[in-house]
Structure formats: C-alpha cells, structure tokens
C-alpha cells in the first residue's frame, strides 16, 4: 500500500501493544516492530517523544510521533506521509 515506514515500539506483555499490532499486521503498511526491552536505543527514542517515559505503544511515521495511538491515527499519519 505504502512504502512509508511505520516504526512500532512495543514491549512484551503490553495489552495496548497487542491490540494495536493486530490491525497493523493486517494493514499492508511497512511496519518495523521494535521491542524496547531488547533495544536500549529504541527505549531512548520512546522516552524522547513520550516526555521521558517508556510509554508503549509508541508509533513514529516520518516526523510524526504518537504515544498510544489508535489504528485510525496511525492510518491517517501514513496517508499524510504518503501524500507529502
């Protein structure tokens, strides 16, 4: 659908992450899932955009960072990034 990368930051045991992962995995989007417990740089990136917290899911599409977004918010960001 789009070659815009969706950076999906998550951690094991996170119910909100699992809930967002389901529609993302079916979306056809170019999703890169990053486990913040296995990647210290990813955890730092999440803290950077989430006011110092390791709040997941955090999704970054282009220059737009979203903390605990709905799938509709992610979809809108992908469409906006694809258009721009």
* pLDDT grade for 9, boundaries at 50, 70 and 90: very high
Residues 6+ apart with CB under 8 A from 49: 58, 60, 65, 67
Indicate the pTM of the whole model.
0.94
Scored b (16 or more CB within 10 A) or e, 59-73 reads bbbeebbbeebebee
> Under a CB-based contact definition with an 8 Å cutoff, are residues 70 and 18 in contact?
no
Per residue in 32-53, pLDDT tens?
999 999 999 999 999 999 999 9
Q: What is the mean pLDDT of the chain?
A: 95
Percentage of the chain exceeding pLDDT 70: 98
């Amino acid at each position: 659908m789009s070659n815009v990368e969706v950076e999906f930051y998550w951690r094991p045991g996170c119910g909100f992450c699992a809930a967002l992962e389901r529609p993302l995995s079916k979306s056809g989007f170019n999703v890169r899932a990053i486990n913040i417990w296995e990647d210290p740089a990813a955890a730092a990136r999440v803290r950077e955009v989430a006011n110092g917290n390791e709040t997941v899911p955090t999704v970054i599409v282009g220059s737009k960072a979203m903390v605990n977004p709905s799938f509709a918010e992610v979809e809108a960001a992908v469409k906006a990034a694809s258009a721009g």
